[in-house]
Structure 1
């Protein structure tokens, strides 16, 4: 029996309230979690918990063991972190998944600086706007933009991401500038197909409803939609890390500012809090300091 794994399984079952949720957090199966707990009980010679179909109740022995086991695991994590700080310079292959347009416009200077600081790390950057399965597809880190739902993954917030409605001056001269959502019924909308309308429910009404703007184009790539907006094809809702330069140059104009969605964020997502590889820890810390202030891509910076 791996006593530490069994102890960790037991603690997570207590903290998360079920074998299923503990398994999700530990990235394993409920059956294996149950096996670990049973082996621990057999090793100790006492029942630690009473299981029912709906809940888990600790026995008196389980309550005492839980407090001590939790402290032991915390001490182990502290020790691992201390040893990690003593490890040699970060090295090895670092596999990163990142959104296509963000990576094209902003990742090269970040990676150049990181490689200068950590020459022992080889970077494999894969661009994809879908949400990759970090563990199944073998990524160390995934960069994601949005409002993250709770999951068993660890997410570090890196920078704010502002979404702004914009259109070209030529388009606004021809169609008029909308000042309220009610003004959109005679306008054209350039839709980003990966945008979660559940997170921004107003878009359903303003841009796809009977009295909303008419969707004339949709794409899963923001650069294509920004290019279409620059050519006068319609209104786009895009992050300012793409539209900022064109807005500063006057080639795009921000509209409907009073109705902008709440800002989203850029996150670094990785699989485990414990035993984080030095290359992963180094990249996250470097990226956090790289985007330490309000990102200079925003036109209001």
Structure 2
């Protein structure tokens, strides 16, 4: 016996005054309605209705049960409506994981604009450059940068991420400008440690730090540090333009070896499920699409 169906059958019989009318309202046979009520009475061990050929009458137990059952069914209906709203209206807590430098430089305006458009959504943003397990760690969505490998997760490409070799004009004036990748072996190289995660990608095999004779003078897991070090004249860095673009536009950094620029990576929105996707996630992914421009605004430095 489905207790909710039996409870609903009993409440409808009481409201309609007969099994026949209740059956019509519930779109089932009078026999099935009667069976549900009988099973409910057997389960409870009390008689809820006194039946005659003309009318039904609530027993004392039936009166008490009818009041509580009506409240239970109303609570269930309210809960289902609220859950339905989560699918049709963007609301609730949206937990996002995002890379540190990208989020610090470029996410705040987007989040503000998104919440203005969807005021029912609150946001918990966690910054981390490692690849979080969005299911195990309870994230609704993760923003990831790279060349994503196939997985069971859904990944939507948001924007290309351009990588450039760059150094300060002062550094290049003092140490010379590289003309080919082999020239980098005599330069100070500022290496992003997570670049090793791209191991096996031919676009990175010529980079300093991978050959026996390459010189690496600074290693960090934070691109902002490396860009600031490059601006200060510490060496040559390979960094995404969403970090280095402003300094390039301002003349604080110059692009070197542009003809050897690696294949762009991408920013992806990664989430767990495509079917029955909560509206807060679907709306956020849709809002990301096209927000940064094509090309993205940080690449518009000439």
1:160 and 1:265 in contact (8 A); partners too: yes
CA distance in 1, matches of 2:111, 2:125: 9
> Equivalences for 1:106-255 in 2 at 5 Å?
106-195=106-195, 196-201=197-202, 203-208=204-209, 209-212=211-214, 214-255=215-256
Aligned length: 218
Q: TM-score, normalised by structure 1?
A: 0.69
1:240 and 1:299 in contact (8 A); partners too: no
Distance of aligned partners of 1:215 and 1:265 in 2 relative to their CA distance in 1, 3 Å threshold:
same
CA distance in 1, matches of 2:172, 2:225: 19
1:247 and 1:299 in contact (8 A); partners too: no
> Equivalences for 1:273-284 in 2 at 5 Å?
273-284=274-285
Deviations, residues 57-104 of structure 1 (Å, cap 9, x unaligned):
xxxxxxxxxxxxxxxxxxxxxxxxxx9799542100000000000000
Give the deviation of 1:174 after TM superposition. 1.0
Tell me what 2:260 maps to. 259
What secondary structure, in the 3-state scheme, does the structure 2 residue paired with 1:131 have? coil
1:245 and 1:299 in contact (8 A); partners too: no
2:86 and 2:278 in contact (8 A); partners too: no
2:86 and 2:279 in contact (8 A); partners too: no
Distance of aligned partners of 1:279 and 1:220 in 2 relative to their CA distance in 1, 3 Å threshold:
same
Distance of aligned partners of 1:199 and 1:101 in 2 relative to their CA distance in 1, 3 Å threshold:
farther
1:84 and 1:278 in contact (8 A); partners too: no
Q: TM-score, normalised by structure 2?
A: 0.69
* Cα RMSD, aligned residues only: 1.9
CA distance in 1, matches of 2:112, 2:93: 15
CA distance in 1, matches of 2:290, 2:245: 21
CA distance in 1, matches of 2:88, 2:121: 12
Give the deviation of 1:300 after TM superposition. 4.4
> Equivalences for 1:5-84 in 2 at 5 Å?
none
Deviates more, 1:254-263 or 1:203-212: 203-212
Distance of aligned partners of 1:255 and 1:137 in 2 relative to their CA distance in 1, 3 Å threshold:
same
CA distance in 2, matches of 1:169, 1:267: 33
What secondary structure, in the 3-state scheme, does the structure 1 residue paired with 2:113 have? helix
CA distance in 1, matches of 2:97, 2:175: 40
Deviations, residues 206-265 of structure 1 (Å, cap 9, x unaligned):
4021343x1001011100101110110011000000000100010000000011110000
Q: State the structure with more CA Rg.
A: 2
CA distance in 2, matches of 1:127, 1:178: 35
Unpaired stretches in structure 2, ≥5 consecutive residues? 1-82
Distance of aligned partners of 1:86 and 1:262 in 2 relative to their CA distance in 1, 3 Å threshold:
same
Deviations, residues 134-186 of structure 1 (Å, cap 9, x unaligned):
00000000000000000000000000000000000111011100010121121
Deviates more, 1:100-109 or 1:203-212: 203-212
